[in-house]
Amino acid sequence: MSLNRTFAIVLRQFYLVRGSPARVLPLFAWVGIDMVLWGFITRYLNAVSSAGFDFVPVLLGAVLLWDFFTRVMHGVTIAFMEDVWSRNFLNLFATPLAISDYVAGLVVSSIGTSSVGLIVMLFLASAIFGLSFVSYGVAIIPFLLVLFLFGVALGIVGAAIVLRFGPATEWFIWPIPALVSPFAGVFYPLATLPTWMQYFSRIVPPSYVFENVRAIISGHPPSVNALIWSVVLAVIYVLLACWVFTGVYRHSVRTGLVARYSAETVS
Partner 1 sequence: MPNVLSVENLSKKYGDTIAVDGISFDVERNEIVGLLGPNGAGKTTTINMVLSVLEPTSGSIHIEGIDVARQRSQALDCTNFAAVYAPLPGNLTVYQNLHVFGLIYGVRHLPDRIESVLEQFELRRFRNFKSGVLSSGEQTRLCLAKALLNQPQLLLLDEPTASLDPATARDIRTKIREFAMRGLCGVLWTSHNMYEVEHVCDRVLFLSHGKILLEGDPKTLPREHGKSTLEELFIAVAREPLALERV
Q: In the complex, which residues of this chain contact partner 1 (CB under 8 A)?
A: 2, 4-5, 7-8, 11-12, 15-16, 19-20, 82-83, 85-98, 250, 253-256, 258-259
In the complex, what is the shortest distance from the CB of residue 30 to partner 1, in angstroms, rounded to a whole number?
22
Give the CA dihedral 139, 141, 143, 149, nearest 10 degrees: -150
Helix (H) or strand (E) holding 31, with range, is: helix 21-48
In the complex, what is the shortest distance from the CB of residue 266 to partner 1, in angstroms, rounded to a whole number?
14
Helix, strand, coil % (nearest 5) of the chain?
80, 0, 20
Q: Side chain identity at 203, as an amino acid letter?
A: I
Q: Report the residue number, 15 or 44, with the smaller CB distance to partner 1.
A: 15
The DSSP code sequence of 196-256 is HHHHHHTT-HHHHHHHHHHHHHTTPPP-HHHHHHHHHHHHHHHHHHHHHHHHHHHHHHHHT
Q: Report the residue number, 132 or 265, with the smaller CB distance to partner 1.
A: 265
In the complex, what is the shortest distance from the CB of residue 103 to partner 1, in angstroms, rounded to a whole number?
14
In the complex, what is the shortest distance from the CB of residue 163 to partner 1, in angstroms, rounded to a whole number?
13
In the complex, what is the shortest distance from the CB of residue 223 to partner 1, in angstroms, rounded to a whole number?
44
Q: Report the residue number, 96 or 194, with the smaller CB distance to partner 1.
A: 96
Distance CA 86, CA 83 (A): 5
Q: Report the residue number, 13 or 201, with the smaller CB distance to partner 1.
A: 13
Q: Report the residue number, 8 or 231, with the smaller CB distance to partner 1.
A: 8
- The residue count of the chain comes to 267
